[in-house]
Each structure stands twice: as structure tokens, then as C-alpha cells.
Amino acid sequence: MASAQLSGIKRFLLWDYPRAGWQYDVMVAVILAFIFLTPREVFHDQPRAANVVRLPSEHGTTVYWVERELLVGTPENKRSEKAGSLLRPRYKVDAVVRVEPILDDERNTMGYMVYTRP
């Protein structure tokens, strides 16, 4: 009896069942249930935020958050052009009004606020 159970567990772990068998179907169902029903927190997996995000705006301008990595190495006088080239294909931006760096407590750049005209 114990050897039959051990044999069944061994076959299950090594996936030693024929493809058209009911055991194969059960194994596939278990795998799919694991994939789709396991919460994201179990794996500490978090979605990555987009590199460019449109924010709520006022006074006729539109505001975008642009990740620091997208404008790194760009001279300050060229940031408006570079930000415009990043925003134009996806958001149909006409003109960039200004680009403001957002700094943390230690004066490191976290990202940029890009103000545009529609």
C-alpha cells in the first residue's frame, strides 16, 4: 500500500502520465490554478510604473511626470526639446512650456514635471 502511494507521488512529481489521461488534465488544472489564483503579494511582484504619466492639471496646461532616466545626461537648455520628443508620439503634445526637476531631501533629482500646452 505504501509503495503504491509512493509510486503515485513519484509519477505525479515526474509527470509520468500519458497526455490524454485524466491525471495529465488534473496536473494542468493545478498548474493553471496556481498561476491565476496565487496573489501577487506571495512573490513580492509589483507592477512597474510607466516612465511617463499624465497628471491632473489646471489653468489650461497639461502636466506630465517623466522619469529621471529618460532625461539623464540632457543639458538643461535641451530638456524641453527632449521632453517634447518623448511626449509627442503618445500624447500629441504641441509645445512644452517648461520642465521642472523634482528633488528629494538630499537634492537628488527624482524625476521631472513637464508642463505643456494642448
Q: What are the tens digits of pLDDT across the range 34-83?
A: 999 988 778 776 666 568 888 887 777 889 899 988 888 888 888 989 88
87 and 30: one domain?
Answer: no
Which of 46-54's residues contact partners 24+ apart within 8 Å by CB, and which partners?
Answer: 52/86, 52/87, 52/90, 52/91, 54/91
Kindly report the pTM of this predicted structure. 0.56
How many domains is the chain built from? 2
78 and 102: one domain?
Answer: yes
71 and 102: one domain?
Answer: yes
Which has the higher per-residue pLDDT, 9 or 110? 110
The pLDDT of residue 1 = 66
Domain hosting 58: range is: 52-117
The pLDDT of residue 95 = 86
34 and 58: one domain?
Answer: no
